[in-house]
Amino acid sequence: MAIKIVIIAAYALTIIGVGILGLKKVRSYSDFLLGGGKVGPWMTAFSYGAAYFSAVLFIGFAGKIGWGFGYSGVWIGLINALVGTLAVWWILGWKVKEKATEMGVSTMNGFLQKRYNSKFLHIFSSLAIFIFLIPYTAAVFMGLSYLFTANFGIAYWQALLFMGFFTALYLVLGGYRSMAMIDVIFSVIMIVGAVVLLFSTIARGNGLGNITAALAAINPKLTAVVGPPGFWPLFSLIFLTSVAPFAMPQLVQKFYAVKDKNTIKRGMIVSTLFAVIIGGVAYFVGATGRVFLNPQNAPTAFDAGKPIFDRLMPELLTNVIPASLSILMLLLILSASMSTLAALVLISGSTLAQDVYAGYFDPKISDRKLTLLMRCMSAFFVLLSVILALFNIETIVTVMGVSWGAIGSTFLGPFVWGLLNKKVNKVGAISSSVLGLSTCLLLYYAGNMSSPEAGTIGMLVSLAVNPAVSFIYSAVKRDA
């Protein structure tokens, strides 16, 4: 225990040190939000990957989906890498930077306003970011708190308050510059931790063959191409987590900060390889939960014989990882989560400071005041997320599904079509954003549908409506 505390303390001091270093390099609002727009391939690649994966993946998704879907959950990790990373970089990467420079914008909300000349879309998308990224951030805090509780035996609320304070401190200091620098360290820890986790799991199960045989003995479908829940639930999880990154502000924001086109070409390869390792390992290890865990050896992960999904992975990690390496697993998930939290807080803070306050209340605000306001709004967003996490709402997968589904449904149609096609118009964009979000929320809250399924349908509606309504509106206007 003493060794764990010393290592975590050293880790925390390193992050604060990088935050202070980043503080010295912040000379403007652009420096704070985008690192001056001159971030290289390695920083960008690792920053994207580390923001993509967090405690939501390792604690929530890997545990629940691994338990339910078995090996077929690995499809999610692999397609996350090919679509959510490689395709996003390839299709959007440089285009985002190009349009941002051309239009003089630094946020997705700002792009939508200028691309469609719509204040409504600007306000609507800003509200969506603020409202729906809070529960996502809360879900990350929840995952980290479960992990700290399992490792240090401290109360959930104590772990939560510590993580909230720590996140606010290092991010408020240096902004994106410190976040990008520390993400390189985070990513190295994540890669090493994932490799150790993979081999430790296989060794603990006496080889891949024995693990596979044990899963098949429980239920043959756990080792099939499509797991027990069936194709549609698996597809919805793949679609939600792989296509939503095309419209997730905290991920797309990375491209606003790149230095040049070569950064995209190099970063794309690095980020994809990173995603294959992290996503593939997380879902594979999650699938082994049924082999290693039961109510007898992990009583805190079960209630009346039924699994408590958000408690499975913390217990699994303590079962398969040698005690001498357990601190590495803690650092792995902590690193992934800190980066995601920083990205979420930064994008939400900029929405409040730049898009809302500077956009509508004080357009002539000085750069210095805007940077200070951005820091204050970032801290405020952390506070709201911690308060929400204290209520221990739902499972992590449910919270994340609602958040990603809502944000994806709001932005996917207007942003992707607006970036790649000149013919879509304001009417189509507003329709796709409003109908996509409405569909997602109605299906989840009134239609008794799971959050990934509701999010998938909402995103499909958003994608389809923009070009369809734009075409119809243009045709009607032409004939009028």
pLDDT at position 35 over 60: no
Predicted local distance difference test score (pLDDT) of residue 415: 95
pLDDT recorded at residue 137: 81
Is the pLDDT reported for residue 81 higher than 90?
yes
- Alpha-carbon distance of 345 to 163, in angstroms, equals 13
In eight-state DSSP terms, residue 58 is I
Q: For residue 205, is pLDDT > 70?
A: yes
- Range 12-19, long-range pairs (CB < 8 A, 24+ positions): 12/166, 14/185, 15/166, 15/170, 15/182, 15/338, 16/169, 16/170, 16/173, 18/170, 18/174, 18/178, 18/181, 18/182, 18/185, 19/169, 19/170, 19/171, 19/173, 19/174, 19/178, 19/182
* Segment among 181-185, 277-281, 350-354 with least mean pLDDT: 181-185
In the chain, the amino acid numbered 344 is: L
Q: Helices in 306-446 by DSSP H: which ranges? A: 309-320, 326-350, 367-390, 396-420, 426-445
Quick: pLDDT tens for 126-174: 889 888 888 878 877 777 777 777 767 777 778 778 877 877 777 676 6
329 compared with 235, residue with greater pLDDT? 235
* pLDDT score of 7 more than 60: yes
Q: What is the pLDDT of residue 275?
A: 92
Q: Residue ranges per domain, the chain? A: 2-117+132-393
pLDDT exceeds cutoff 80 at 287: yes
Report the percentage of the chain scoring pLDDT > 90: 34
Supply 196's token pair. Answer: 């150790």
Residue type, 300: T
Note the pLDDT of residue 408.
93
- Among 23-37, 250-264, 272-286, 436-450, which stretch is predicted with the lowest mean pLDDT? 23-37
Q: What is the mean pLDDT of residues 94-113?
A: 87
Q: How far apart are the C-alpha atoms of 262 and 162, rounded to whole Å? A: 39
- The mean pLDDT value of the chain amounts to 84
pLDDT grade for 53, boundaries at 50, 70 and 90: confident
> What is the tens place of the pLDDT at every residue in 351-408?
778 777 787 788 888 878 887 887 888 888 888 888 888 876 666 667 777 888 999 9
Architecture of domain 2-117+132-393: Up-down Bundle (1.20)
pLDDT value at residue 206? 92
Q: Please report the pLDDT score of residue 352 as a whole number.
A: 79
SS3 at position 306? strand
pLDDT at 78: 95
Check if the beta carbon of residue 268 is closer than 8 Å to that of residue 109.
no
User: In this model, does residue 299 exceed pLDDT 90?
Assistant: no
Write down the residue that tokens 């993509």 correspond to: 52
Residue 300's CB: how many other CB atoms inside 10 A?
Answer: 12
Whether the per-residue pLDDT at 37 is higher than 60: the answer is no
Q: Quick one: pLDDT at residue 428? A: 95
* Higher pLDDT pick, 335 / 41: 41
Model confidence pLDDT, tens digit, residues 429-456 = 999 999 999 999 999 988 788 888 999 9
Distance, CA of 467 to CA of 479 (rounded, Å): 18
Contact 378, 168 (CB under 8 A): yes
pTM of structure: 0.86
Asked whether the predicted pLDDT for residue 65 surpasses 80, the reply is yes
Q: Characterize 383-421 residue by residue with b for buried, 16 or more Cβ atoms within 10 angstroms of its Cβ, and e for exposed.
A: eebbebbbeeebbbbbbbbbbbbbbbbbbbbbbbbbbee
Query: In 3-state terms, what secondary structure has residue 479?
Result: helix
Angular region, 327: left φ>0, alpha ψ -120 to 50, beta rest: alpha
Which position has the token pair 């401290």? 154
The winner for highest mean pLDDT among 33-37, 41-45, 397-401, 416-420 is 416-420
